Amino acid sequence: MNRQIGIIGAGNIGGAIARGLVRHGDVPAGQILLSRKREELLSDFEGQGFRIADNETIVGQCDIIILSVLPGQAEAVIRSLAGSLDAERHILASIVSAVSIREIRGWIGNNTPVVRFMANTAVEYGASMTCIAGEDEQANEAIRKLFDSLGKTMIIPEQLMPAATILAACGIAFFLRFIRAVSQGGIQIGFHADEAGFIAAQTALGAARLLMHTKNHPETEIDRVTTPMGCTISGLNEMEHYGLSSAMIKGIIRSFEGISELK
């Protein structure tokens, strides 16, 4: 990968993408330029070989520009750069929630390819689920190629991007909370906290890999470990009695409803 990559807004997710590109994407840190409103927070990245720059320098030197700012900041940032964006050279890839391609193109004012994507913080460790949407097929493929080494990718219609935000980005927090609950249960039945947390996380990883490799429905794999009158089915039934699946579904729907409130 010889392209220069710029990340405008290298906070939690922007920084995770930068580190993931170096660790798993075969992109040298020196080819990644980072900016952030509070530049002093990027000192650790500078020590790791990343280049710290202002937004104008990023546009001037980079081919792929990843926009990772808050929804309320997006318009001002894009309008400030619009005159420097070159439709023949640049790809603007936005991970900004609730800001559409149409809005971004309107702020740019030219035909620079715009791609929306949604990754999650596991991108740093090559385990993100990244959903990609855009009107330019070549630009979509360029961003897909960039993120293929950082986990799994999927091209989706833009109208599904809010749903992808909930499942792929917010979903990390949902699963982490579930793992935390499992580890707390493990403490109560005898393990130390670090042991219970390790067992819960590794077991969750195993469950995910089962589904990724077999492509089975979750209930198929559940049936394999539930025996008549056994401890697994009794535990599952108790969890459902207290609303496990219902709570998860309601939480996802509530997050989805809330995404329209971000701007």
Q: What is the pLDDT along the chain (263 residues), one digit of tens a residue?
A: 578 999 999 999 999 999 999 999 999 999 999 999 899 899 999 999 999 999 999 999 999 999 999 999 999 999 999 999 999 999 999 999 999 999 999 999 999 999 999 999 999 999 999 999 999 999 999 999 999 999 999 999 999 999 999 999 999 999 999 999 999 999 999 999 999 999 999 999 999 999 999 999 999 999 999 999 999 999 999 999 999 999 999 999 999 999 877 76
CA gyration radius, the chain? 21
94 Cβ neighbours under 8 A, 6+ residues apart: 66, 67, 74, 101, 104, 114, 115, 116, 117
Q: Residue 6 in contact with residue 33, Cβ under 8 Å?
A: yes
The torsion angles phi and psi of 242, rounded to 5 degrees, stand at -95, 10
Output the pLDDT for position 249: 97
Full set of structural domains in the chain with CATH: 5-156 (3.40.50.720), 165-261 (1.10.3730.10)
CA 207/CA 198 separation, integer angstroms = 14
Strand order in 5-8's β-sheet?
51-52, 32-35, 5-8, 64-67, 91-94, 114-118, 128-134, 151-155
- β-pairing verdict for 64-67 and 5-8: parallel
3-state secondary structure of 91: strand
Output the pLDDT for position 1: 56
Question: What does the DSSP assignment read for 168-210?
Answer: IIIHHHHHHHHHHHHHHHHHHTT--HHHHHHHHHHHHHHHHHH
For 18, the token pair is 């930068």
Intra-chain end-to-end CA distance of the chain, in Å? 35
C-alpha 63 chain-centroid distance = 21
Output the pLDDT for position 263: 64
Output the pLDDT for position 261: 76
**Amino acid symbol at 247:** A
Q: Which of 125, 146, 173 is nearest to 63 (CA)?
A: 146
What global pTM score does this model have? 0.93
Output the pLDDT for position 142: 97
